[in-house]
């Protein structure tokens, strides 16, 4: 806090209105209205093109995951036109979505962002010194001079002085506005400068004055009139949020008298305070509410006037498994026991989370949020994988856009990240272990279903999702253990690939190959080639086309001075992996399922455990758990 104050002192600036005017003429962005300031703040953080007509705004990076489309709509359909002073800025921005979907996080990001931005050269903001509403100094320019000012400098001036500044201009500054003191201000929610927050409370005790300010009783006895600005506290949330943003928490739960105030602010950019004329207020109001309140309010015809002043942005749950994992990692990293080390694991000071544990939870969560596709052949699991960037059979990323367009409200229901974090917590403490595995996570999810719902039909549906996730994990677990059993996997894969390429080249060129031991010329090893190709269902009739395709890839890379590797062709990589694992399956079964392994088997297990810890992110305990689990799978 002291460093922050020191930094603000370094950036502090004071001068006269004449000095400020010189700065504005050189840099008109200084006089941005609230919506334009927020929009420029977002743009200044950078934009990344991620696809056709798709952009990722870096301002939200590392905080919000899986909401790229929502954030693009928010920026491009609300803040962008609002920054250009189009009519949309006269709308309250309302974020609607399920609990735990990121609405509050989104608003907090904007608020904290404005605090930081106001300390940068591009985000510098100035106000009449001593004004409780941080008045824009350009409001000192009389109305009749503003058209000429705009014509000469291209700067639009909107708004009027607040009652306090008008009084001071008449009584302190002698109407000589050139000498009015101006200072640089820094947005701060804590200091109530440019950022306000309002939350509905007990209507019997809550007063509209919380939004618009109130009479100062002590000053009233001194100045005698409620209409004297010196006898009024301009400290309501709307007053102090002027030039910036005000968050309205659970807006639709508020009484109508509070919403009427917002209606005036949104439509006219004015506040009605007791005994005063309308007070200009330049503020971006961002509200949020849940879908139940939203549907109830918007279906009531009596609310049409207010509805007309609202711009709704739906904030659904994330639908990408990889992004869901990042959400959990972020939430866990904010706890007092986390020490994030790699993407595949989280090493906690007291708890180890084994690889794939968070992914298991994320898969379950995303499945609960998806809606069945109208297209034949696409299961929820397939849809989940496609949304996460995978290719499944003949389905690939070309189909994702069509799938998303089937339901505009997909992601508005399902299990929240908060439920998952609760279950992760339950898995962490279950059994008194200092580690948690995917199996622990699946058990914790199953145990939590009863608490989550009393509806038997929904309960069966959720249990079905857990079973689907478990099947996916079973395949992953077998591959993970089998990979660990391959001594020097990369070297083994390279050797097998080289043998395959040598034989395929000879096959395609109708040549012989050298026997690795005798050196004699022999026919290409058809058995070897087919044993690899059959792993990915290449039929006898398809083998020539597949082999010729591989050789074209080899030649293409060679012409560019590159070497064909295991990862150069996705299908061949999969085939080689499966071939290596298939050859080891029986060894894995025997070694993991033997209750009293002999010395050689024990040595093999210890080598595998060590490799899993060193290369795959396990601890000895979690690795042994996985070995035992896979042993039972392979012996079924």
> Which residues, other chains included, contact 405 with Cβ-Cβ below 8 Å and sequence gap of 6+?
none
Is 543 buried (19+), middle (13-18) or exposed (0-12) by CB count in 10 A? middle
Closest CA to 588 of 480, 438, 439: 480
Structural element, H or E, at residue 314: strand 310-314
| pLDDT of amino acid 81 | 97
- The pLDDT score that the predictor gives to residue 349 is 47
- Please say whether the beta carbons of 384 and 366 come within 8 A: yes
pLDDT of residue 590: 67
DSSP secondary-structure letter at 252? G
Pairing of strands 92-96, 54-57: unpaired
Between CA 484 and CA 472 the distance in angstroms is 19
Q: In three state form, how does the secondary structure of 239-289 look?
A: HHCCCCEEEEECHHHCCHHHHHHHHHHHHHCEECCCCCCCEECCCEEEEEE
How far apart CA 113 and CA 107 sit, in angstroms, is: 10
Spell out the residues 6+ positions from residue 473 whose beta carbon is closer than 8 angstroms to its own.
356, 360, 438, 439, 442
CA dist., res. 381 & res. 511, Å (int)? 45
Q: How far is CA 14 from CA 117, 133, 182, 212, 282, in A?
A: 19, 17, 6, 28, 22
**DSSP state, residue 353:** E
| Number of H-type helices and E-type strands within the chain | 27, 20
- Residues belonging to the chain: 636
The pLDDT value given to residue 488: 58
Pairing verdict, β 245-249 and 232-233: unpaired
Instruction: Please list, in sequence order, all residues whose beta carbon lies within 8 angstroms of the beta carbon of residue 401, skipping any fewer than 6 positions away.
Output: none
What pLDDT shows up at residue 398?
83
The span from the CA of 495 to the CA of 179, in Å, is 83
Q: Return d(Cα 505, Cα 515) in angstroms, integer.
A: 15
User: Which class for 171: exposed (0-12), middle (13-18), buried (19 or more C-beta within 10 A)?
Assistant: exposed
Q: Are 283 and 265 in contact (CB under 8 A)?
A: yes
Compute the distance between CA of residue 314 and CA of residue 290 in angstroms, rounded to an integer: 10
* Adjacent-strand bridge partners of 426: none
Measure CA of the first residue to CA of the last residue in the chain; give whole Å: 61
Q: How far apart are CA 557 and CA 529, in angstroms?
A: 21
State the virtual CA torsion across 132, 133, 137, 141 in degrees, nearest 10.
-110
CA 426 and chain centroid, separation: 25
Please work out, in degrees rounded to the nearest 5, the angle formed at the alpha carbon of residue 344 by the alpha carbons of 563 and 51.
65
Q: What is the pLDDT of residue 340?
A: 38
pLDDT means over runs of 10, the chain (636 residues)? 70 94 94 96 94 88 91 96 94 93 94 96 96 96 93 93 94 85 96 95 84 91 89 95 96 89 89 90 95 92 91 95 94 63 44 92 97 91 93 84 90 93 84 84 92 90 96 91 74 87 92 80 91 92 93 92 90 87 71 70 82 90 90 78
617 contacts 344 by C-beta, under 8 angstroms:
yes
Distances (CA, A) of 552 to 344, 419, 508, 558, 562: 35, 51, 11, 10, 13
Give the integer Cα–Cα distance in Å for 140 and 121: 24
Tokens of 140: 């000192």
**Could you give the CA distance from residue 180 to residue 593 in angstroms, rounded to a whole number?**
85
Instruction: Report how far residue 353's alpha carbon sits from residue 436's, in angstroms, rounded to the nearest whole number.
Output: 5
Q: What DSSP element (H or E) covers 42?
A: helix 34-44
- The residues with which 196 forms a beta bridge, in sequence order, are 246
Residue 479 tokens, joined: 């591959």
Beta pairing, strands 310-314 & 125-128: unpaired
From CA 201, how far away is CA 185, in angstroms rounded?
Answer: 31
Q: pLDDT at position 52, please?
A: 76
Sign of CA dihedral 582, 585, 588, 591: negative
Report field, pTM of the whole predicted structure over 0.85: no
């Amino acid at each position: 806090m002291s460093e922050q104050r020191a930094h603000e002192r370094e950036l502090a600036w004071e001068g006269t209105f004449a000095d400020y005017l010189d700065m504005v003429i050189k840099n008109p962005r200084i006089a941005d209205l609230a919506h334009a300031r927020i929009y420029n703040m977002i743009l200044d953080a950078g934009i990344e093109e991620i696809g056709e007509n798709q952009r990722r705004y870096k301002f939200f990076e590392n905080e919000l995951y899986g909401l790229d489309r929502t954030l693009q709509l928010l920026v491009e359909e609300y803040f962008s036109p609002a920054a250009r002073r189009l009519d949309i800025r006269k709308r309250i921005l309302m974020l609607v979505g399920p609990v735990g979907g990121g609405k509050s996080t989104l608003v907090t990001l904007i608020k904290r962002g404005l605090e930081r931005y106001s300390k940068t050269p591009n985000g510098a903001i100035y106000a009449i010194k001593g004004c409780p509403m941080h008045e824009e100094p350009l409001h000192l320019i009389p109305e009749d001079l503003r058209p000429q000012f705009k014509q000469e400098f291209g700067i639009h001036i909107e708004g009027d002085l607040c009652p306090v500044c008008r009084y001071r201009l008449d009584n302190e500054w002698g109407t000589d506005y050139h000498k009015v003191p101006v200072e640089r201000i820094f947005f701060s929610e804590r200091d109530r400068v440019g950022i306000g927050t309002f939350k509905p409370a007990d209507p019997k005790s809550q007063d509209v004055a919380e939004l618009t300010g109130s009479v100062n009783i002590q000053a009233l006895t001194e100045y005698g009139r409620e209409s004297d600005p010196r006898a009024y506290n301009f400290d309501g949330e709307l007053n102090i949020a002027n030039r910036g943003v005000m968050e309205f928490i659970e807006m639709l739960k508020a009484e109508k008298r509070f919403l009427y105030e917002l209606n005036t602010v949104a439509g006219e950019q004015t506040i009605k305070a007791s005994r005063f004329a309308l007070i200009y207020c330049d503020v971006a109001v961002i509200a949020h509410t849940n879908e139940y309140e939203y549907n109830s309010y918007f279906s009531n015809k009596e609310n049409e006037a207010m509805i007309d002043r609202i711009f709704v942005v739906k904030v659904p749950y994330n639908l990408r498994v990889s992004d869901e994992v990042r959400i959990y990692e972020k939430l866990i990293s904010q706890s007092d026991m986390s020490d994030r080390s790699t993407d595949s694991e989280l090493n906690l000071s007291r708890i180890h989370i084994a690889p794939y544990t968070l992914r298991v939870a994320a898969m379950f969560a995303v499945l609960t949020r998806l809606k069945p596709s109208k297209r034949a052949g696409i299961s929820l699991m397939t849809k989940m994988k496609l949304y996460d960037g995978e290719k499944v059979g003949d389905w690939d990323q070309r189909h994702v856009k069509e799938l998303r367009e089937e339901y505009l409200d997909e992601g508005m229901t399902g299990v929240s990240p908060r439920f998952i974090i609760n279950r992760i917590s339950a898995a962490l403490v279950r059994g008194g272990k200092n580690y948690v595995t995917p199996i622990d996570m699946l058990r914790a999810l199953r145990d939590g279903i009863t608490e989550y719902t009393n509806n038997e039909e929904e309960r069966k549906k959720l249990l079905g999702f857990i079973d689907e996730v478990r099947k996916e994990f079973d395949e992953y677990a077998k591959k993970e253990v089998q990979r660990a059993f391959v001594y020097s996997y990369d070297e083994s894969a390279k050797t097998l690939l080289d043998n395959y390429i040598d034989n395929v080249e000879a096959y395609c060129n109708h040549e012989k190959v050298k026997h690795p031991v005798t050196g004699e010329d022999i026919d290409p090893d058809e058995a070897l080639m087919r044993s690899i190709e059959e792993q990915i269902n290449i039929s006898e009739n398809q083998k020539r086309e597949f082999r010729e395709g591989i050789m074209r890839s080899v030649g293409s890379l060679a012409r560019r001075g590159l070497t064909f590797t295991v990862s150069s062709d996705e299908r061949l990589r999969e085939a080689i992996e499966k071939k290596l694992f298939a050859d080891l399956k029986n060894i894995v079964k025997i070694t993991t399922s033997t209750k009293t392994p002999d010395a050689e088997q024990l040595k093999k297990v210890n080598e595998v455990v060590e490799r899993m810890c060193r290369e795959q992110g396990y601890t000895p305990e979690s690795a042994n758990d996985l070995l035992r689990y896979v042993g039972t799978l392979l012996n079924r």
